[in-house]
Amino acid sequence: MWVCEYHDSIIGFLLLIDRGTSAQLPYFYIERAFRGIGLGKKLMDLYIETLHEFGYKQSYLWTTKELSAATNLYTRSGFILAEEKVSFTFGKEVTEQKYVLEL
């Protein structure tokens, strides 16, 4: 887990879960006031470095189509859309998307 702090407050984090030869990225969050300054890209770069360092073959994550800034970051980092499905998991209709990064 990578945690970003500013003045003793957590302002962002990213989590890697080991799934054997794959790594899952289940949680990635940056506080709104700190978005757009490169913090998300820095966290993603650290995440991908770690994937290589530990020899993962693949990484994947689930997000929703409605989070376009996040999906842009994922695709710029090499993740490819692998699956899409309509879901009501979050109390409303959303399009869930699975992104995969082959290493």
Identify which of 28, 4, 34, 24 has the alpha carbon closest to the alpha carbon of residue 14: 28
Number of domains making up the chain = 1
The answer to whether the CB of 66 falls within 8 A of the CB of 94 is yes
pLDDT value of residue 90: 78
Q: How are beta strands 2-6 and 22-30 bridged, if at all?
A: unpaired
Q: 74: domain range?
A: 2-102
Cα–Cα distance measured from residue 3 to residue 75, given in angstroms and rounded to the nearest whole number:
22
Indicate the pTM of the whole model: 0.90
pLDDT value of residue 43: 96
Query: Any idea what the CATH number is for the domain that residue 40 is in?
Result: 3.40.630.30
Question: Which mean pLDDT values do the consecutive 10-residue runs of the chain (103 residues) have?
Answer: 96 97 96 94 96 97 92 96 92 94 97
**Residue 4, token pair as written in the block:** 């970003």
pLDDT value of residue 93: 93
